[in-house]
Structure 1
């Protein structure tokens, strides 16, 4: 039985290394350079995992021996059964995360392939709000904020890739003694949540933002 151990952002790391290795194979003939690039690709992949069994590590290290585009396709396809999906979540669980939004519009969860989800995000166009649900420490965290398209490309805080951006502004309680004193903070993120999930290779900046927004 296949035990899932590859999260979406880690699979994105693997795909990124596979793409870079294929480009190198097409453009470089020097065996020494190729050996170095192959070794570095393996290192970058393994470093994306806090821990690996010997079998899991061996499975991932197979990328170093691949040659053709077909080999890489088969390699990635063989890893898909080991993808660890975003934890199961129901409509009621999501609604409880946003209790003040009585008319909360939630995406069709059945249509989402949660294997490729690092964070669940959707935009309510009517209110220009972005909603994010993230699993942290065995619990779901929900944050919401104003989303303002910038009509320009740049680097997203969450995925650190160059995409169409929007400014995501979240309201939080300030450090003031008054509990009613609210403040806002925000950052530039991908306008398209799906594109962001397809690109994210590290959850550090995402988690820092979400934990700050939750305070």
Structure 2
């Protein structure tokens, strides 16, 4: 039996590929097209797990021969026990990430199913601030930024899905060697207003990790 090894964004990616195959099986009449999808989707999944063991690889490609919606849904349910949760954090750890926010309110961690969390994100509507917490290179780091809702849908830079977004702008800690004392640089992007929605959508952490690195390193 495999120990939990599938992170939230990877599980979302698997769901996407399983959905592609299920759609082909239920809507496409050309068997050659179906077989092409049946070959490509498991390959894309395995690509996302380069260090997978033989047992893990067998599990990851287990949806390839399936055909019915019930079989696909059963497969996805079977993966839940292999979901690797966001590393445990507590209120004290989160507050320590943002020492300047004296009255910081943190999310109700007990209410979260950490199996489906890639990053922690929460808003303080009183100050129009948003806070992110993420394990970068094994270390818990935090990003604080201005959060400005724009009242429309657009593509979130983290999950790459069309959702209701806000402009999230954070000041980077890095400075040029010859920068003046009052120098600062803000990096802004459109991201999901609802972090829970973003966590359900995100399939790749490359952009997230690059953004956090640009801010905190």
Shorter-chain TM-score tier: over 0.9
d(CA) in 1 for partners of 2:25, 2:2: 31
Tell me if the contact between 2:2 and 2:55 (Cα under 8 Å) persists in the aligned partners.
no
1:68 is matched with 68
Segments of structure 2 that go 5 or more residues without pairing to the other structure are: none
Specify the alignment match of 1:94 in structure 2.
94
Corresponding residue for 2:11?
A: 11
Instruction: Quote the offset at 1:33 in angstroms.
Output: 1.0
Alpha-carbon distance, 1:182 to partner? 1.9
Match of 2:187 in 1: 185
Return the offset for 1:2.
4.2
Question: Is contact 2:2-2:56 (8 Å) kept?
Answer: no
Are positions 1:79 and 2:108 aligned together?
no
Q: Deviations over 1:133-186 (max 9, x none)?
A: 000111101001001111111111111111111100102244243344222121
Q: What is the Cα deviation at residue 43 of structure 1? A: 1.0
Matched-pair contact (CA < 8 Å) for 2:86–2:114: yes
User: Counterparts of 1:179 and 1:13 in 2: how far apart (Å)?
Assistant: 44
2:181 and 2:137 mapped to 1: Cα distance?
26
* Corresponding residue for residue 202 of structure 1: 204
| Offset of residue 126 of structure 1 | 1.1
Query: Structure 1: which 5+ residue stretches go unaligned?
Result: none
C-alpha separation in 1, matches of 2:2 and 2:52:
14
Distance 2:9 2:37 in 1: 21
The count of corresponding residues between Structure 1 and Structure 2 is 215
The residue correspondences of 1:2-41 to structure 2 (distance < 5 A) are 2-41=2-41
CA distance in 1, matches of 2:57, 2:2: 14
| Distance across 1 between alignment mates of 2:106 and 2:63 | 39
1:151 and 1:180 map into 2 onto residues whose CA distance is 32
Alpha-carbon distance change, 65 to 121 in structure 1, aligned in 2, over 3 angstroms: same
Q: Which residue of 1 aligns with 2:172?
A: 172
TM-score for the superposition, normalised by structure 1: 0.96
